[in-house]
Structure 1
């Protein structure tokens, strides 16, 4: 994506549709001059930065609207260019007329993400911060908003910059060794370099591991509700959502297809998926439903296994576990219909003992009544703790972007090659190549290393006006 910073760009910065006001944004060297040329009010070119002025947008003698003009004089603006934001009435006709008027006066229509692209190109943001802007706009939960905001403030960038600076120092010393290759001298202490690579590799590895949680926060945690027919899966979905979302019936096999809803627990979105009951299908349609259930389980991060605590046998529990346990998918056992239990304590103890000896690494069973909504809040807490596992403390750096993850994985590979090279006593030129590779991949994250194709791919996904 190429950008001509000599041009002034214009776009609607608020969503299209009926509303009280709309904001039209201009950015570029001539932004204030262009706005002033169609302005009736104080001379905008003589006003201070970060001030708001009342006036009219006029096309010759025709008044288009009475508006507020917010001025941001370079470099004290989002793009580090002159920026004017016109707050006008949100009539489609008015918006279109004002934008066309600005374009007639010399501005051009902004491309998707072009304001943020200019902020990056002008040094206001690095690339990971620019991507955090898009994540912040798209955030749909408290946790995703907080993670995006932390990255926008530069927490991730600062950590990567520190790592990169440490590597650059050693890379410079190794480059110096190449200049004195005939003298066979070492300027970079290999033990210190090895310790540094170990330290950086640990940090990079921690960032890579954080992606699972970061991606769950950003996209939501895929959570499948599965179990036998009439176990109460749909009733549980309704109880968790506190609304009648799924059809509930005593007839087995009522749910033939998956039903998906979003439940927010403590700021995290859980994408709940109610599935067809697991059993030998009686017809082709039900068989498709069971197959989809198994597919959804394999794609999920958390499985809520619901069973009828009154009627299920231990052999049936064992059969279900054999079919449902999936590597990489956390499982939460939910014993439903506790309100119907006779000999309640004995039955609970029997089920409890079964799961304690089942070999599940994170054993926990929650006894509930979905119909009577007993212990639903307790279940919600366990859903949260099973998925998050005390990993979210509020100030840690989380990787949420697949591009960042891939760059970190390549960085880790290059660093491991450096360690192997030190142990193998390879020459400085090969060490230098691997360190440069690590620096390159770290630089790709923050934008120290970029290509037009990379920028095009990133900023084309932004909304116009941002």
Structure 2
């Protein structure tokens, strides 16, 4: 894989469509395509222009196409680039790509366009990773977060922290050059105050990862309750489709059923579980065990019970169990249509809502409560939120290194050890933005991108 190669890939989704877009990048890409194009001489055209013509393979026309030109450095990769818009036939696409490869291009590796943009200083590594997150975003919150990262959200935070540390690191390094003269260029007290301020920012970023993870992957909400409480009916009512089998026979749901719903621009993953009860049925027992496991893994627990049969004592006992799990929870009283009085001792309980999953009465207020209990109100578009596990680990490593610096200051360790701990912190921060990289790290990151990106 060479940076001087002309690379080519399908940029649109594979399969039949109205049009397809084929991307090329590399300093020679225009001269590769120009002899195959029956329109204007592409080598003499300006950047950001579009040209109509035919792609020619020998004496035959392959397709009518539009070619968009992006001349370096005014392109995504900062190299000469072009995009061929052709008809969306798989045959046409494959024939064009084969023609281009025969003419001097090679097939792009996964993420190679974005990797070239990074290597050509189009953006830093954190911003490059945000490109993949933006492509994968499935809801408003994930889109807003990825867009903010791509525009330099977390990168700016990290650069600010590094700049402050670099100053003190250089002063301490300078002290090492004058070690025999016993001079102090970097005040230890000022360094300590700076690290304490940086630690506050690091804590905020590290703590935001939990929120970032649910924004990116969805908020896992588990629906639990006794058999026949109406869990599957509730799941169907929330999704507005017949996702789960509904039956009056207790124990119908024996395995985990999961689907997604967008609430206020955030993805929620609802998980229907087997009814919680003692059972001698081996298969159902496995389902109950999995339900317990899903409660541990979830961000929010919805306990569904039958309003017409469940006693207040049992509900209160169940609520105490949920409190002990230490997770947000909602008590959902179902089968409202079967009770004579809609007043309940739980009416003033902030965790309680009554519904009829069968008629869908109360489902919208339940969605509102799900939103508030999920703590998504903490998310504001434009906030810097850590969504990448690699960034999270680097931030934790940075924090540990800075804590070593603080302990070193308190213990009055020598400058060479102090400087080493600061260099460790700078190294871990640099890993996030790509100022510190290895070939293996880059290969791992960009291998997860789609081919045409």
Report the TM range for the smaller structure's normalisation. over 0.9
Asked if 1:74 corresponds to 2:61, the answer is no
> Counterpart in 2 of 1:360?
none
Work out the CA distance in 2 between the residues paired with 1:154 and 1:299.
32
Question: CA separation of 1:326/1:64 partners in 2, compared to 1, >3 Å: closer, same or farther?
Answer: farther
Look up the match of 1:378: 365
Query: Which one is further off, 194-203 or 248-257?
Result: 248-257
Cα deviations across residues 179-207 of structure 1 (Å, max 9, x unaligned)?
Answer: 11111111111222111111111111101
- State the shift of 1:389 in Å: 4.5
Unpaired segments ≥5 residues, structure 2: none
* C-alpha contact 2:347 2:353 (8 A) present in aligned 1: no
Q: TM-score, normalised by structure 1?
A: 0.94
| 2:222–2:302 Cα contact (<8 Å) kept | yes
CA apart distance, 1:284: 1.5
Whether 1:210 and 2:222 are equivalent positions in the alignment is no
Q: Counterpart of 2:378 in 1: which secondary structure?
A: coil
- Counterpart CA distance in 2 for 1:239 and 1:449 is 50
Query: 2: distance between equivalents of 1:40 and 1:326?
Result: 73
1:126 to 88, 99, 124: 124
Structure 1 Cα separation of the partners of residues 19 and 325 of structure 2? 52
Unpaired runs of 5+ in structure 1?
A: 357-362
Contact 2:113 2:452 in 1 (8 A): yes
| 8 A Cα contact 1:298 1:326, kept in partner | no
The 1-side partners of 2:126 and 2:25 are apart by: 22
The aligned residue for residue 307 of structure 1 is 305
- Aligned-pair CA distance for 1:342: 3.5
Secondary structure (helix, strand or coil) at the match of 1:20 reads: strand
Give me the whole-angstrom Cα distance separating, in 2, the residues matched to 1:460 and 1:119. 15
Secondary structure at 1:435 match in 2: helix
SS in 1 for 2:241: coil
User: 1:456: which partner in 2?
Assistant: 443
Q: What residue in structure 2 maps to residue 369 of structure 1?
A: 356
Aligned ranges 1:100-111 → 2 under 5 Å: 100-111=98-109
Deviation at 1:323, TM superposition (A): 5.2
- Distance, in Å, in 1 between the alignment partners of 2:74 and 2:375 is 40
Q: Cα RMSD over matched residues?
A: 1.5
How many residue pairs get aligned? The number is 453
Give 2:21's aligned residue: 23
Kept after mapping to 2: 8 A contact 1:338/1:367: yes
The alpha-carbon deviation at position 328 of structure 1 amounts to 5.0
Q: 1:95-133 CA deviation, whole Å, 9 max, x = no partner? A: 112111111121111111100000010000211111111
User: Residue 268 of structure 2: SS of its match in structure 1?
Assistant: strand
Q: Which whole-Å deviations, capped at 9, do the CAs of 1:48-77 have from their partners, x for residues lacking one?
A: 101101011112222111100000000110
Instruction: Note closer, same or farther for the CA distance 1:328–1:215 as it changes in structure 2 (3 Å cut).
Output: farther
Instruction: Name the counterpart of 1:163.
Output: 161
Do the aligned partners of residues 344 and 59 (structure 1) sit closer, same or farther apart at CA in structure 2, a change above 3 Å counting? closer
